[in-house]
Amino acid sequence: MAMDNSILSNLTMKQLQIFLAAAKHNNITKAAQELYMTQATISRNIETLESIIGLKLFTRTNRGVQLTEEGKQLLIEWQWAIGLFETSIKNAQSSQNAGRPNLLIGDYDSTDNNMYLLPIVKEFEKRNKDVNLKIDKGPPLEIINGVIESKYDAAFISRPYLELFANMDVEITDTLNLPPSLVIAKGNPLFGADDIDPQEVASMPMVAMRQPFVLRWQYVEKVYHECGFEPKEVRFVDNPHVMALELLRRPCVALMDRSYAPIRRDELRYIDLVGCKTRSGFVLVARKRNRQPAILGFIKAARDFSSRQPYAACMAEPKQE
């Protein structure tokens, strides 16, 4: 029987990825945490997938979701199909890249990492066409452990995590150097004000990320101490998307920088703490003992990017309605 092309043309890999994660955990919340998406995004994509194929894949239970019989059948077959797809790509890559040097770079999976990552990769690949470059994205602590365990040749690290490398033989390359900012969202009473007193914003309830992002909270305390602020009520959340929702739902504040944008930029307002010595942004960390030409070339591309000061776009104040 011929495959319905209308189904294939509407299916996306994102929908299949979400289906597999939800099936693995039998839980929308855990699937959202694994994929760094909101629960609403997970649910919406599952509903779209069910509509496209005309089958009910999950039923809701008191503990989460459960695969239907049709869902169980598709899970087995889709896992096999995706595994075959991935294997065929890896085989083709191995054939194409035989004899080429490999370079594995870890990257903190932030919303706006393309601000620095894409220009650096583009510049590196233009100068080093014989290198097989791969970017491995993940949560901050996974990337940090990857550097410590020499899994990565180099990795982009959020600046507040640098203290973990204080006693290690690493080379630090400045990539994105930004002043910390107090962040409020549309709906906050101060959002439309012409001038905002940072002290007034800093006194609002704060939303901050919990473990394993404990260093982010240490960063908050350090900045507040330097600026003479006193943190008030703190609500801890699990990921940046939940933080964004908290900012939109109630008059609270987060301490981030202008690389933080899990929601539309015109719905965020940044109050820069330009006098603060502590900086935010990202750096490239590489083990000093790795002096291969490929990694030296990547470090040079990162240095060239930093020297161009390409921060005007991310520093621009969003237009207020």
* Residue 53 covered by a domain: yes
pLDDT in the model for residue 163: 78
Claim: this prediction has a pTM higher than 0.75: no
pLDDT in the model for residue 57: 92
pLDDT in the model for residue 5: 63
Q: Nearest CA to 320 among 192, 190, 189?
A: 192
Q: Report mean pLDDT in 10-residue bins for the chain, 321 residues.
A: 64 89 90 87 92 91 88 84 73 62 82 74 90 86 84 87 80 86 89 89 86 66 89 79 84 82 74 85 85 90 81 41 38
Q: What is the CATH number of the domain that holds 211?
A: 3.40.190.290
pLDDT in the model for residue 287: 84
For residue 191, what are the contacts with CB-CB under 8 A and spacing of at least 6? Answer: 184, 185, 269, 320
pLDDT in the model for residue 61: 86
Q: Residue 188 is part of which domain span? A: 181-272
- Residue 229 burial (CB count, 10 A): 20
- Give the separation between CA 54 and CA 50, rounded to whole angstroms: 6
- Asked whether residue 11 falls in the same domain as residue 38, the answer is yes
- Asked whether residue 172 falls in the same domain as residue 226, the answer is no
pLDDT in the model for residue 97: 56
Q: What is the CATH number of the domain that holds 162?
A: 3.40.190.10
- Give the separation between CA 247 and CA 78, rounded to whole angstroms: 38
Using DSSP bridges, classify how beta strands 268-272 and 58-61 pair: parallel, antiparallel or unpaired: unpaired
Q: Is 136:104 a contact under the CB 8 Å cutoff? A: yes
User: DSSP character for 253?
Assistant: B
For residue 286, give the 3-state DSSP assignment: strand
Q: Nearest CA to 201 among 180, 178, 175?
A: 180
Whether the upstream peptide bond of residue 212 has omega within 30° of 0, thus cis, is yes
Q: Domain tally for the chain? A: 3
* Residue 211 covered by a domain: yes
pLDDT in the model for residue 46: 92
- Asked whether residue 170 falls in the same domain as residue 287, the answer is yes
